[in-house]
A and B are shown apart, each in its own frame.
Chain A
Amino acid sequence: AQKITQTQPGMFVQEKEAVTLDCTYDTSDPSYGLFWYKQPSSGEMIFLIYQGSYDQQNATEGRYSLNFQKARKSANLVISASQLGDSAMYFCAMRAQGAQKLVFGQGTRLTINP
């Protein structure tokens, strides 16, 4: 079985600072994918970034990067130069190779202060 743990229920960051959202995972599958989604107050789920377990380099998408440490089973999301519009819930998720469903963590509520 797969499990995602997000230990930070809430985070408060000053605008323009970088922020790291923590995610640890547990799986016995050798091949898996890790995902981050953003859920603003409007409710939609927005895909941000993906990391495959065999990818040699950390994934990056614009201001988002994924700090993947396989031995520690962590997949932290780093947002550089935070903006007010980054305020939202952030969910880490994983999917094992061959599985169909995403397993989500409980989320971290990020608030960016001006």
Chain B
Amino acid sequence: DSGVTQTPKHLITATGQRVTLRCSPRSGDLSVYWYQQSLDQGLQFLIQYYNGEERAKGNILERFSAQQFPDLHSELNLSSLELGDSALYFCASSVEGAQYFGPGTRLTVL
């Protein structure tokens, strides 16, 4: 158990819909990272927050947004969903050094 929690574990929705993925980092970790894992793109960095502020941005679509709240949990919002957004979405947290990953949310867009 990495100490990072993610909900929900599975999410099935339809094209055009909007979903919210939630992540709670390990106790004491200020940084939260979001990654997407798909069969064709592999593991891709989406975005990072540090203590409530956006710190780095990767290959995140404009339809996707994220935020980190004062209690340090983070949410990833995916809107106008397309079939190609089906993937495993990971949250990770760190203080420094290694990033510890949550169990992931498997999103299926039908």
Mark interface residues in B70-110 (1 if CB within 8 Å of A CB, else 0).
Answer: 00000000000000000010101000011111111010000
Contact of B48 among A33, A47, A50, A100 (CB under 8 A): A100
CB of A88 within 8 Å of the partner chain: no
CB of A43 within 8 Å of the partner chain: yes
Whether B56 lies near A45 (C-beta < 8 A) is no
B64 nearest CB across to chain A (Å): 15
Q: What separation, in Å, do the CA atoms of A33 and B104 have in the docked complex?
A: 24
B106 surroundings in chain A (CB, below 8 A): 43
Nearest residue, chain B, Cβ from A99:
B56
Q: What separation, in Å, do the CA atoms of A99 and B55 have in the docked complex?
A: 10
- Identify whether the interface residues of B are mostly helix, strand, loop, or mixed: strand
Interface bracket on A:
20 to 34
CB of A101 within 8 Å of the partner chain: yes
Q: Say whether, besides A35-B98, A45-B101, A101-B56, A91 and B88 are in contact (CB < 8 Å).
A: no
Q: What separation, in Å, do the CA atoms of A44 and B91 have in the docked complex?
A: 11
A14-22, A63-71, A79-87, A103-111 - interface stretch? A103-111
B76 nearest CB across to chain A (Å): 15
Residues of B32-91 at the interface with A, using a CB-CB cut-off of 8 Å, are: 33, 35, 42-43, 45, 48, 55-56, 58, 88, 90
Binding site for A on B (CB under 8 A): 2, 31, 33, 35, 42-43, 45, 48, 55-56, 58, 88, 90, 92, 97-104, 106
Binding site for B on A (CB under 8 A): 33, 35, 37, 43-47, 50, 91, 93, 99-107
